[in-house]
Amino acid sequence: MTEKLRVAVLGAGGRMGQAAVQAVEKAEDLELVAALGRTDPLERLLETEAQVLIELTVPDSSEANVRFAVEHGIHAVVGTTGWGSAKQDSLRALLAEHPEVGVLIAPNFALGSVLASSFAAKAAKYFDSVEIIELHHPHKVDAPSGTALRTAQLIAQARKGLPAAPDSTEKALDGARGASVDGVPVHSVRLAGLYAHQEVLFGSEGEQLSLRHDSFGQASFMPGVLIGVRTVTSRPGLTFGLDGYLDLD
């Protein structure tokens, strides 16, 4: 019988953390050995002999937590934001000293969303026009969403050198044509009842391709977290973005 992988969740009191605890408990190949709040001592990771840490805390403490794990040979799957390039570089240097340890930092764990972004980047150069519509619950404070910004940037990069999308608009009300992100129009809808949704529309003469992702709640992140946990042990070094673990080529 295969032994179960020993997993600890840090930030287990938050919404994402609670969902992660449940997801690990339900997975037959994983054993939850610790569910730690943000103030619990990190030594608990050692006492419980965790092999993989799921790090879901806050930007201020995430770096220290992950470095502690790496220094003790524990792999880490990180969903906390705020990992700029300086922090990543520093972590890479640390990982060079621990060549058997793997870390995944993912700004987005929703599998469908990661796939949709990847597909959008691939399709981008084959169409005359592209626009993005993102739709979220009305409690969201920023517009467009971070995912929409990243998707637009990926698309713009893939279209470098191609002619701009045709657009004969002469008179428009302010805002009607959306926000331009690297030349890609992005429209942000805020609607009661929704959670997090995005649609990328591509058009050429006579046809349209639409890539849509709907996230209906926190639960949508868990399949991606589990893929991260199961893969990180065989991927030493730092991987940024869940797509690095997916078989997309």
For the segment 99-118, give every residue that binds a copy of itself (CB under 8 A). Answer: 110-113, 115-116
135 Cβ contact list (under 8 Å, min separation 6): 188, 189, 190, 191, 194, 196, 197, 198, 199
Nearest residue (CB) to a copy of itself, 58 versus 189: 189
- Would you say 123 is a known binding-site residue? no
Q: How far apart are CA 103 and CA 233, in angstroms?
A: 9
How many residues form the binding site for a copy of itself (CB under 8 A)? 80
Q: How far apart are CA 249 and CA 91, in angstroms?
A: 28
Residue 9 is which amino acid? Answer: V
Question: Is 150 near a copy of itself (CB under 8 A)?
Answer: no
CA atoms within 13 A on the CB side of 170: 0
Question: Is 71 near a copy of itself (CB under 8 A)?
Answer: no
Question: Is 193 near a copy of itself (CB under 8 A)?
Answer: yes
CA atoms within 13 A on the CB side of 169: 11
Question: Is 95 near a copy of itself (CB under 8 A)?
Answer: no
The binder of a copy of itself chosen from 223, 236, 237, 244 (CB under 8 A): 223
Residue 187 annotated as catalytic? no
Question: Is 86 near a copy of itself (CB under 8 A)?
Answer: no
Yes or no: say if 37 and 43 are a contact pair by the CB < 8 Å rule. no
Q: Write down the catalytic residue from 72, 98, 136, 171.
A: 136
- DSSP tag of 2: P
Residue 98 annotated as catalytic? no
Q: How far apart are CA 95 and CA 103, in angstroms?
A: 9
Residue with tokens 């026009």: 129
Question: Is 157 near a copy of itself (CB under 8 A)?
Answer: no
Q: Which stretch binds a copy of itself (CB under 8 A): 49-57, 95-103, 178-186, 231-239?
A: 178-186
- Would you say 228 is a known binding-site residue? no
- Would you say 108 is a known binding-site residue? yes
Residues carrying an active site annotation: 136, 140
**Which residues sit in the known binding site for (S)-2,3,4,5-tetrahydrodipicolinate?**
137, 146-147
**Which residues sit in the known binding site?**
11-16, 79-81, 106-109, 137, 146-147
